[in-house]
Structure 1
């Protein structure tokens, strides 16, 4: 009996942290992600905040400009509720090869104040369920291929946890400001 209750408790915890079927999720608040230190973070923490969710890399040609502009946007709009969630990914020419600790050190050197998460996959069978959900809700320019194109693809999430926009990696973060201001 105790074993059955224990197993039931584990199943409930797993289902509570990430929907078993991401296609049935109602918002990003149903997901949990590991932060850069390896702690579980319920995305419900961000309820009521507009978000930018972005896949990042330390060794990409887009890195310097994106980190600098994401910092600028965060500094400008944090007091209005904006949160930025950065997910390192090594799927694009292995441009994020470091450990989570090395990535955290890189972010610190770039004065990152927004939230950094553990390295994940954003494409393929091992893609993080959150990214599967993001791509389902905003498939991109080719609805038949919802793949993340490269480092620094950006999703805008409204205060209700709904994925409202997707932007290509080459779009500069500062060019998101007119869109962001609609959701602040």
Structure 2
């Protein structure tokens, strides 16, 4: 069973095998988590995104690149649904976590740090974004031993911590 941990901090500073990037379909860097990961990881991440995913990824899918200068080994990029733009199919958000864990398993990653996919500028309601993350990771058949859900601000961290506590044995 995967151990889920709530963490308050910066996802770019997580010492894990893989960090998950909440990317857009083009995978070329941007704002929020995506921009932070590209800035902290350096140009190698963008170069590999372009080489490995010249047409980007579909919403709900995931793929990996190097982590560049990040303390992680890999970045798992996943494309969350844009709730603010009308993409409100919850199964797409669930797929982001499932596919990210599938990619982690393919890589042999045992520790993974997740942001709250789609909960930033894409506007997914935060309580449901947290529920999707916790429920999907908890139910996953994965070799990932530790999944961190990283929240940048104290209020979100408290919400994630409460959700994680509800599923602990």
TM-score by length of 2: 0.33
TM-score by length of 1: 0.31
